[in-house]
């Protein structure tokens, strides 16, 4: 088969069209693979950094809402989920253990720096206790989830 005959052969045209289709599909996925790899490799501090979670005071009265003070920097708009776990020693002889968990999430807009207080929304001990808050911050990206763990200093409920 010479070049002129191959030019007119529908099988050759079909193979060429199929090869072009497959190659263009592969080339179209390159940016997608790049985004997947980039999200997998970048650490959470490319998106946000939590510097601290601290109780607003060292001793809370029984029945008083627990308030915490957080400091964070957000470098780009991100969907964030928080899981706040309250660990307490309620004096039952079992030591420090999980008392309650509060989970929430939302889109956080980019801003330079944030400090503020918030109220823990889950169950709190109704008896004298020594407690500590452990927070898991998860940035939910399209192809990856990045996490940071932070804990508060201990505090009392009396």
Query: What's the mean pLDDT when you consider all of the chain?
Result: 86
pLDDT digits (tens, 9 = 90+) for 81-136: 999 999 999 988 888 899 999 999 999 888 767 889 999 999 999 999 999 999 99
Report the C-alpha dihedral over residues 91, 93, 96, 98, rounded to 10 degrees: -90
Confidence grade of residue 2 (pLDDT, cut at 50, 70, 90): low
Could you tell me if residue 5 is left (phi over 0), alpha (psi between -120 and 50 degrees) or otherwise beta?
alpha
Instruction: Tell the residue number behind the tokens 């090869």, with chain if given.
Output: 19
The CATH architecture that domain 44-157 belongs to is Sandwich (2.60)
Q: How many residues does the chain have?
A: 158
Residue 7 has pLDDT above 70, yes or no: no
Instruction: Tell the residue number behind the tokens 């996925």, with chain if given.
Output: 29
Residue 12 has pLDDT above 70, yes or no: no
Q: What is the pTM of this model?
A: 0.76
Instruction: Tell the residue number behind the tokens 């928080």, with chain if given.
Output: 82
Q: Where do the structural domains in the chain lie, given as residue ranges?
A: 3-41, 44-157
Supply 67's token pair.
């308030």
């Amino acid at each position: 088969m010479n070049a002129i005959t191959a030019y007119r052969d529908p099988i050759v045209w079909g193979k060429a069209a199929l090869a072009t289709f497959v190659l263009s599909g592969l080339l179209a996925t390159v940016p997608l693979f790049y985004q997947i790899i980039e999200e997998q490799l970048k650490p959470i501090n490319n998106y946000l950094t939590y510097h601290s979670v601290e109780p607003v005071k060292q001793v809370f009265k029984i029945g008083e809402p627990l308030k915490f003070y957080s400091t964070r920097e957000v470098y780009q708009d991100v969907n964030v989920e928080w899981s706040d776990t309250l660990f307490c020693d309620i004096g039952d002889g079992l030591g420090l253990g999980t008392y309650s968990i509060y989970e929430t999430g939302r889109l956080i807009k980019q801003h330079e720096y944030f400090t503020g207080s918030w109220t823990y929304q889950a169950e709190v001990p109704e008896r004298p206790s020594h407690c500590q808050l452990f927070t898991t911050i998860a940035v939910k990206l399209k192809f990856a989830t990045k996490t940071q763990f932070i804990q508060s200093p201990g505090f009392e409920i009396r």
